[in-house]
Amino acid sequence: MCTFRVTNRLHLPGCAGRRAHKSRIAEFGVLLLAVLLFAGPANATRMPGLYGADVDATGASGSGLDLAFDNALGQVLVKLTGLPDAGDPAKRKRLFPNPAALVQKYTVQPGNRLRVDFDPAAMRTALDSAGLPLWDIDRPLIVVWLAIDGGEDARVILSDGSANSVELEGDGLLQFQQTLLDVAGQRGLPVVIPLLDAIDITRVTFADVRDEVREPIAAASERYGAEALLIGRAGSLDINSEAVHWTLIAGDEEASWDGTVASGPNEAANILSQQLATYANGGGTQSVVVTGIDRFAQYGSVLQYLRSLPVVERASILRIDGGSVEFELEVRGDAERLRRTLDTSALLVAGSDTPSADLVYALRTAR
């Protein structure tokens, strides 16, 4: 069961439990958090392995190999689309009757596992043909802060275990950590669990995480390259408890819900994919002006960068006016999705929009 509270502009996908929605104008604290998280150059994290999956290799020959390909495709579809039901066997068989045609390579791994990698270009074409969204490899890095209150002697912030092994000696805490990492991997979500070393404990306390005090959490997350925060509060060491409270914060947008430990990365993936995934038939042409270009090499660098973006299908130069270059982009999605992508660029910084272009950016090296 999931119970949701929504603030600002995050629109949540369906949940089996009861949902409650509300909106409000971002308050000063939320704006300050956005500055702490996203001030300065930022880069979306390139999530590896989205186009591959490991499956059981038992009987993986002949028709058994086709079954292994199908099972792997189910896992990949969930990661690529951001839709938890995209791996449904019946739907998958109808939309992708021949998974083997999409396979790029497969290799036998230790532990009787089969690694199946699908061809990215073929998968993009197949998803477009099936009318499914594509959430490509550039994804926000999420730092997960989870306060676990197991009583007076068991109040801890979950750490990755490398800096404070005592806290992770218990099977319960190890299970919390492994569940978070496993679910995030299944959803293609880049996450970091904090070290909770000498640096972290001088910046954030158990009470800060339990009470969602945003500023110290955001400040402690900067060292990890945080692009979003996932803050949780668990009232016991019961991994199956549905009373874990979660809040996802990305810029000036946030969403909260109650659920299990696993629902943290699961719902975060649902929310972010709804915001960032694109459809082939949802695109159009956008014009982007980039200022501060004064050398020939810079033209090529910006054009190459724009063409490399998953949201961009094609990019060309429309006109050059002094140090300003107007590019025409055919994109998957609208101007807002393109803006979200460009705002994470280490090459460009947002400029003042003009009536002559949909979006205006400046070359960072020119500032």
pLDDT value for 3? 52
User: How distant is the alpha carbon of residue 296 from its chain centre?
Assistant: 35
The span from the CA of 54 to the CA of 71, in Å, is: 9
Query: Residues 261-290, buried b or exposed e (16+ Cβ, 10 A)?
Result: bbbbbbbbbbbbbbbbbbebeebeebbbbb
Angle made by CA atoms 13, 18, 23, in degrees to the nearest 5: 60
Does this model's pTM top 0.85? My answer is: no
SS3 assignment for 197-219: CHHHHCCCCHHHHHCCCHHHHHH
pLDDT value for 151? 79
Report the chain's mean pLDDT, rounded to a whole number.
84
111 pLDDT above the threshold of 70: yes
Higher-pLDDT residue of 99 and 41 is 99
pLDDT value for 68? 95
Instruction: Say if strands 45-46 and 138-139 run parallel, antiparallel, or are unpaired.
Output: antiparallel
The span from the CA of 338 to the CA of 222, in Å, is: 25
173 DSSP assignment: H
pLDDT digit string, tens, across residues 298-355: 989 999 999 988 889 899 999 999 899 999 999 987 778 888 788 878 899 998 767 7
Among 6-15, 24-33, 99-108, the range of highest mean pLDDT = 99-108
The span from the CA of 34 to the CA of 274, in Å, is: 20
User: Percent of the chain at pLDDT above 90?
Assistant: 62
pLDDT digit string, tens, across residues 234-280: 999 899 999 999 999 987 789 999 999 999 999 999 999 998 888 88
- Structural domains of the chain ordered from first start: 3-45+138-276 (no CATH), 49-130 (no CATH), 280-366 (3.30.70)
- The two structure tokens encoding residue 210: 């339990």
The span from the CA of 198 to the CA of 150, in Å, is: 23
pLDDT value for 365? 65
Angle made by CA atoms 273, 275, 279, in degrees to the nearest 5: 75
Query: How many residues appear in the chain?
Result: 367
Angle made by CA atoms 343, 266, 170, in degrees to the nearest 5: 115
